[in-house]
Amino acid sequence: MVRGRGWGDSFSVRKPDPRHLLGTIAMAQGNPHRAVMTGDHHNDMATAIGAHVPAIFARWGYGRPEMEAGATVGADSISEVAHLANELVPA
């Protein structure tokens, strides 16, 4: 976290700017071509779209149903995420 900023402000940009997600993937030493975004807000879906990363909408989260627009797929529970992620980014 950058000193003097609040939680979630590790980058100079915020979602839905795709650099936020791409920076997070880079910090985790990941590969955007092997990543999947899971979120419950339209900003999460817009971030994934901008980063060209598949998006799983968390239907169990706080977001309203219309916020699923743009998601690659939706999940009704967290237990579905691993299976969906494996389908979106096969081994």
With 80 as the cut, is the pLDDT of residue 29 above it?
Answer: yes
pLDDT category, 8, cuts 50, 70, 90?
low
The conformation of residue 73, written as its DSSP 8-state character, comes to: E
Enter the pTM of the model.
0.88
Q: What is the pLDDT of residues 71-81, one digit of tens each?
A: 999 999 999 99
With 50 as the cut, is the pLDDT of residue 4 above it?
Answer: no
Q: What is the mean pLDDT of residues 29-37?
A: 97
- φ, ψ for residue 3, nearest 5 deg: -60, 135
Task: Tell me the domains of the chain and their CATH numbers.
Answer: 18-88 (3.40.50.1000)
pLDDT of residue 10: 81
Q: Checking phi first, is residue 86 left (phi over 0); if not, alpha (psi -120 to 50) or beta?
A: alpha
